[in-house]
Chain A
Amino acid sequence: MNAPVVCQLTLRVSSASSPHGPGSVSACCLGPDLVAFLTSCARPNELLKSVFRVTVAQVPSPEGDRLPDVSGRYLLLEDELGFIPHFPFERDVKYRATFDPRPLGAPLTAESLNLEFFIPSEQKAPALTEVTHIFPSCDLLPENLLRLYVCFSNSMQRGRALKEISLLDSHGQPVADALYRPPVELWDRSMRHLTVLLDPGRLKRWVGPNVELGLPLKVGQKYTLDIGSGMIDLHGRPLRERFRKDFVVGDPVRERIPVEHWKILAPVTASRQALVLMFASPLDWALLQQTITIESADGLVIDGQVVVDQHERRWSFTPTSPWVTGVYQIRVGSGLEDVCGNNITEAFDRPLRKGPNLVTRINGSSLIFQLI
């Protein structure tokens, strides 16, 4: 051997498209002797078929017959011998490449090389995930705030909320025992919306945690809900960046939702104008989407689109068909709550009942408007 061996003979896979087709496997650093020998070969392809072989690794052999090798051709490039399959390597199929130069003759001391490989399928993953909204969207939240929703731009995986989501005080320090740690993270079916609760035990006056620790939030203080970028999305990726929602705490709300005080902005007959309801204080963003329905006088539910905005203090309903003359009922389901968990019949946090605990549940409430 005259020339020094600059590197060791190796097998290398390239999944990139080349002018010769997508994907190839190469024996690199052949060394000058091997290159010279292959160059001098009259029909190197025939010889190489037994030297440099690529097979599908997973296919079982029928009846002990030898399965054919993957069909392809060879390309000698300087110090490298490439195998280019006639049909591109298929993603996720496992292949085995073996390079055994020993049959090529005397001057070669190289050993046989083996490489199992596959080219993973390209996942067209969407853009990196981020937090799109946190509800309530208002910056001034009541002292007895119960619930927050964190909305993500893609579906997420469970298991990171405890570590990544925290409530910080004005000094950036975590507020101890403020957030409820549910045994199962509270995701919706799409895995894009996470419910975060403040500890209900601290919100309800006169129950143990409240007696011991008091309310988690203090009026007049600034807080930050902090969503760490370590939340993991369905594709296994962290968030594009961390997300913070700053808010100031105001007075508590400890009364039922006063449905009878809602302001109704009625649409014009024969139009598709929105019917608008205005609330004095923010209601629960998620429940507003599904608990209010509009019925015609004959009890049919009107089809249309709901929009909630103005910091969850406005609910607008645009019907699919124009409004017609008549009396309509705005039916409010008993499940509707405000951001503190107060519903349309009672407050979330109220004094304990005296006497027999007979609770009368109603099926909701309704308002009426008429179009002439």
Chain B
Amino acid sequence: MSEKPITSGHSRRDILRFAAASAVGLALPGGLSAVSNAPVAHGGPSGPLRSAGVLTFGPNNVLLVGDITGATIHAFALRDKDLTSQTDLISGNFHNFEGRDHVVGLDQKLAALFGTTVDKIVISDLAVHQPTEQIFLSVERGRGTDAIPAIVKVNHGQLEILELDSIPHSQVSLPNEPDSKAMLEFDPQQMYAITDLKYYNGEVFVTGITNQRFASTVYRIPYPFNANMATCTVEIWHPVHGEFETRAPIIRQVIRELNGEPYLFGVYGCTPLVRFPLSVLKDGAHVRGDLIGELGYGANPLDMLTFTSPADSKDYLLVTIDTRSASQIAVSELASAPPQPTGGGIDFGPGGLGRAQRALPIKAEHIAILNSKWAVLIWRHPKTTYRLDLSTLALPYFFERKDGMSEMNWPNGPDPFHYREHRNELSNQ
């Protein structure tokens, strides 16, 4: 099959299936390198974790953890006693866009709990257990090879360390992880071995890179884990760079069903938004995704999620970005957006859906949807740069009024949004 660039807007995508996958090193001898349902007793609250990376929830209260050092995906089947409903918590004043700080000085409190200093605390990810609205954090104490991983949950503002060695656990190893000494120009390759993790319809989708020629990889792993893992490699046309790219990984992914077909949407560094129908992500396949949006150069995505707007009841894709405002794109456009042409010159964009994106005022290190009206985020406000806070932020504008300065803040100022009528109107939803 040809690797010729597609120059039309036709929705055709190249699926380069290799009959002899070993020719390009895609084959996984014997399928999975290891599947284990027995807890690995490392002892202590770290349990079987060797590092604590991306988090997501699977079915039946299963917390999935990406462990780069262990080249492993862990599944912890949380028991009822591991979860405490937080739905009684007041999230803030929704009408007035005033969120609440659930944990002030999150990094300082984690340091105290872990018996260390704040510079040794790394918060890798944040996930919300939707039924209980309980927030889980993946945390490491230490920044070196001796870092100690842990999962921390937030219980009514208090931080509690999960005793992972007592929680039913299964795990699956990922093959061909990058060598721990292999470098990119600026970072170790291993940093990107597991970039994101999502559960959809009986499968765990893992994005990241391997040590193979086409490094950018999507794994589909059945859950409960078994040996039938599918591995495919993915490539894109990256307009900002004017080239096909097979190594740069998907940084964040979202899986959504649109018009009856499930898709994986991936966002990359510098910042292409790419669509893959799940039907083409088959074991051994090398797949070119449809580039449907170029969100802007010089940016790294931090989180990607979808939410339903309480204002218009429509669904939106949200991508938070390190160097500028977050992007919001209507989910309804994701399936129908035509693939951008490939093979042109360097185009700094924005392009495709990037031209329709709306900028949202979010500066969050991590963000997740808490419930139908609130998101929860870990952030460092300019007024309080010395600490990280865990706070709520009202949908769909993601605007925190109490941190701003405006005419309306004067006691006798104008009140075009009727803030005064709703003052002190706290709610948990």
Interface residues of A (CB under 8 A from B): 21, 54-56, 58-63, 65, 67-71, 85-87, 89-90, 93, 95
Contact = CB atoms under 8 A, between A and B. Distances in A.
12 contacts: A56-B112, A59-B117, A62-B104, A62-B105, A65-B104, A65-B105, A67-B109, A67-B112, A69-B113, A71-B161, A86-B45, A90-B120
Contacts of B161: 71, 86
B120 to A, nearest CB: 7
Contacts of B324: none
A71 B110 CA distance: 10
A62 B385 CA distance: 12
Closest 3 interchain pairs by CB? Answer: A62-B105, A67-B112, A70-B115
Interface string B153-174: 0000011010000000000000
Contacts of B44: 21, 86-87
B109 A68 contact: yes
B117 A68 contact: no
Interface of B: 44-45, 104-105, 108-109, 111-118, 120, 141, 148, 150, 158-159, 161, 387
Given A87-B44, A90-B120, A60 B108 contact: yes
A87 B116 CA distance: 9
Nearest to B105: A62
Contacts of B112: 55-56, 59, 67-70
Given A56-B116, A59-B108, A86-B44, 5 more contacts: A55-B112, A63-B105, A67-B105, A71-B161, A90-B116
B117 A93 contact: yes
B309 to A, nearest CB: 33
Nearest to A92: B117
A90 B115 contact: yes
Contacts of B117: 56, 58-59, 90, 93
B150 A87 contact: yes
Contacts of A61: 105, 108
Contacts of B114: 70-71, 86-87
A69 B109 CA distance: 9
Chain B interface main SS type? mixed
A93 B104 contact: no
A93 B115 contact: yes
Nearest to B387: A62
Nearest to A94: B117
A54 to B, nearest CB: 8
A19 to B, nearest CB: 10
Contacts of A71: 45, 113-115, 161
Contacts of B104: 62-63, 65
B424 to A, nearest CB: 21
B116 A93 contact: yes
Contacts of B118: 59
Contacts of B158: 68
A93 to B, nearest CB: 6
A67 B104 CA distance: 10
Contacts of B148: 87
Given A68-B159, A87-B44, A87-B150, A62 B108 contact: yes
Contacts of A63: 104-105
A75 B42 CA distance: 20
A168 to B, nearest CB: 51
Given A65-B105, A68-B158, A87-B148, A59 B111 contact: yes
Q: Kindly name the residue among A55, A58, A60, A86 whose own CB sees the greatest number of chain B CB atoms within 10 A.
A: A86
Contacts of B115: 54, 56, 70-71, 85, 87, 89-90, 93, 95
